[in-house]
Structure 1
Amino acid sequence: MADTWVNVGCSADVDSRIAGTEAARVALSGDPRLVVAFFATTHDPDAVSAGIRSVSGNVPLIGCQTAGEIADGWAGDGAVVVTALGGPGLAVEVRGTEIDSASPRDVGARVVAPLASLAGGDHRFALVLTDGQAGHQQDIIRGAYGAVGAAVPLVGGCGASPTVGAFAAAPLLCNDRVLRNGVVAASVASDNPFGIGIRHGWERTGDAVEITATDKNEVLELDHRPALDTYLSLLGAPEECWTDERAFQEFSFLHPFAIRRPNGDEIRVVAYPNYGNRSFSSAADVPADSVAWLMRGDADALLTATDEAFDAAIAGLGDRSASGLLAFDCVGRRGVLAPRGLTDVTRMASRADGAPFAGFYCHGEIARTKGAAGYHNQALVVLALS
């Protein structure tokens, strides 16, 4: 089996087209089969795409805007990162669509449909990027799961928008198109094995609570009481969190909650408090009548989770070494580490052991390896290729 090759290029040029061109020139060589781009919210997506395509030609391309970029031993903001994958044992088809009149489940099924007829190796996965501002990520994943079945993993992340609000959208790249409020996926068939690792570093605290009332991604009640008050009381939150949104978010970054799933805890970020109706919101739909745990953690636990996620992904390769890795790291984890002068990119570099890696800070992570669920917050998802 010939190894898949992975090259990573990064440019910090403030001109979007130049940055796309420079990063692509470093990344592309040989016979590329897929180009994956991550770019800052300060960049124009059309210009980034034009710069990359001026180098890559018609090689399949997917990409998204991010809440921070990762390239080998560097992590920061303002860059364009381009990853090229190639090798004779790699077959790829890219598809993307916007969520307009179609249901999120239909869109999820549509973007991964090429896997059913893709000619290539027996090791198959779909690399999925979505608009992180859309509140229906789990429905997208369920639709994809329904289309490809339990045997095909989904892996990826949710992009970031430069603005927040009802009309915000995180732009995605799909070949020559820029999509908003959409989903893109690269269906991949490989002769070689791949591995997926997911870790978060959080631990349960206290007893389970019941989510008794929700409205999409807004949690209205916990144990039949106002959700915000119950959350703050059970965790013994500082007094300022009851009235100050900034203090609340600094605290909530360290205290997500977990929904119980058959294959383990699924982390959800506690994003914004509503001091009017005493609720809080998360980054995706939260099912009512489900069991949840409040969580806690610290910087050391998150860094240990980085080690474990990389190790688990590489272990999936068996006796083969990693040709390259992609990391989908939650912006919430970054929000815990950065104020403490820390980053997990040096831990990533240590675990990658010389293999090239790239990634971005996400507004939600995708890792469906068992069952229909697979949307996560405040977690790290790693894809290792061989």
Structure 2
Amino acid sequence: MFQSVTFFPTQEAWQEGAKKGERYLLLVGEKTLFSWNELPSDPLCVGAVFPYVVYEEAYYAQGILAVQLEKEVHITFVPSMEKACFNGTLEDFSGMVLVIVDGFSAHIVTFLEALFEVTASAASILGGGSGKLTLVQEPLIFDTQGLHQDAALILSCDTPLGLGVGHGWDELVGPLMATKTDKNILQALNYKDAFGIYRQIVEYDSGKKLTSENFFSLAKCYPFGIRKYGSEMVVRDPIATDGTALVLVGEMEEGSVVLILKGEASSLIKAANEAASEAANLLKEAPKGAIVVDCVSRVLFLEEDFSQELAAIKKGIGAPMWGVLSLGEIANKHDGNIEFYNKTCVVGAV
């Protein structure tokens, strides 16, 4: 997949070190002074902006990860996730598929299902949602033509990939029924306004009043879990409310059986370590590197303890690592299903 991965503190520093005739995936921290218009035409560049980028056991809101791609890597750019139309080349690759989507799109789940249908059955898919902690959707995925919103970027190759997924969140209340939804808007739980039900539970457990103003800071501790038969529970992050409905990162199907979750720092860190170990153990040889896609809300929840999570991933993988802190995580584990997770750690060993 990649020849080298290098961290640069600024766009100017990267452009000074960029090699002509090559192709790069650029992962950009949201605080970076980044201008698409100033990118050179040579080398070719594609990429996206994330809240943070990860390089070894550190994470940066300012800086660029420059991933120099191998020549056999196939790049697919999708300008509209809602109207995605694949040309059939993805089924030619049976190794790694790296996917970057607009983390605030209302079409993520349906897009991933369409992608899964045209991807080789033996392929391992991982990726994450681009975006900023402003929680405002804007054009943040780029190709040679410009910056795009509601878009996706797909990199495919035959490199084997071991995948591990873990979250560490535990059941607090449930089950509940999502009785009315509209893509990533949860409108009703058990036939009542979703925010009203959610607020009662959060306020009772936290002892704090939940309002539209403090919603994100308190809700980060109480995600939803969607029960999936025979596979890892899918976590959904509520990020905003209009006082009646809840806005989620990712879609939720009407009729879903959901739980309200709560976590402890130790359980989240342990789950991240187990995800890394699982990824490493799925390869026939010791991994040469690892791609980490970890949810940005985990760093907001763990705060100063997040450094322990990165150290736990490093210990589990035992190899150089790089990646992003994302708005939603993507993986198809060895059970074959593709999922869009929230508040989850996904590790890919190569």
Query: 1:322 matched to which residue of 2?
Result: 287
Residue from 233, 246, 257 that aligns with 2:224: 257
State how far apart, in whole Å, the 2-side matches of 1:212 and 1:136 are: 20
Aligned-pair CA distance for 1:158: 0.9
Asked if 2 retains the 8 angstrom alpha-carbon contact of 1:210 and 1:289, the reply is: yes
Q: Distance in 1 between matches of 2:126 and 2:227?
A: 20
Instruction: Please state whether the residue corresponding to 1:255 is helix, strand or coil.
Output: coil
Match of 1:132 among 97, 103, 108: 103
More helix by share: 1
- Name the counterpart of 2:90: 115
User: Are 2:13 and 1:19 equivalent residues in the alignment?
Assistant: yes
Distance of 1:378 and 1:162 partners within structure 2:
14
Retained in 2: the 8 A contact 1:241–1:251? no
- Match of 2:174, SS state, is strand
Identity of aligned residues (%): 20
Match of residue 174 from structure 1? 143
Find the aligned partners of 1:181 and 1:350 in 2 and give their Cα distance.
36
Give the direction of change, closer, same or farther, for the CA distance of 1:382–1:336 in structure 2 (3 Å limit): same
After superposition, the C-alpha distances for 1:212-238 in whole angstroms (9 at most, x for unaligned) are 112222211111122112123234244
Question: Is the 8 Å Cα contact of residues 366 and 381 (structure 1) preserved in structure 2?
Answer: yes
How far apart, in 1, do the equivalents of 2:306 and 2:126 lie? Answer: 29
**2:2 equivalent to 1:8:** no
- 1:264 maps to a residue whose letter is E
Q: Tell me, what secondary structure is at the counterpart of 1:264?
A: coil
CA displacement 1:141-196 (0-9 Å, x = unmatched): 0010111254323211111147544xx32422335654332111011113xx3201
Give the Cα–Cα distance (whole angstroms) in 1 for the partners of residues 144 and 256 of structure 2.
Answer: 40
- 1:175–1:92: structure 2 CA closer, same or farther, 3 Å change rule? farther
| Letter matched to residue 199 of structure 1 | G
Work out the CA distance in 2 between the residues paired with 1:162 and 1:222. Answer: 27
What root-mean-square deviation, in Å, do the aligned CA atoms of Structure 1 and Structure 2 show? 2.7
Q: Distance between the aligned counterparts of 1:156 and 1:45, measured in 2?
A: 24
Cα deviation code 1:123-152 (max 9, x no counterpart): 423111111121211111001011125432
Give the TM-score of the pair, scaled to structure 1.
Answer: 0.81
1:216 corresponds in structure 2 to 183
Rate the CA distance shift 1:206–1:162 in 2: closer, same or farther, 3 A.
closer
Q: What is the correspondence of 1:81-100 to structure 2 with a 5 Å cutoff?
A: 81-86=65-70, 91-99=72-80
- The two structures have a TM-score, normalised by structure 2, of 0.88
Which residue pairs with 1:338 in the alignment?
303
Aligned partners of 2:164 and 2:347 also within 8 Å: yes
SS at match of 1:374: strand
Q: Distance in 2 between matches of 1:137 and 1:341?
A: 27
Contact 1:203 1:297 in 2 (8 A): yes
Quick check: 1:9–1:24 contact (8 Å CA) kept in 2? no
How far the C-alpha of 1:371 sits from its partner, in A, is 4.8
> 2:36 — aligned with what?
46
Q: Deviations over 1:348-383 (max 9, x none)?
A: 333342x22111110111112345541010001111
**Alpha-carbon separation, structure 1, partners of 2:200 and 2:39:** 48
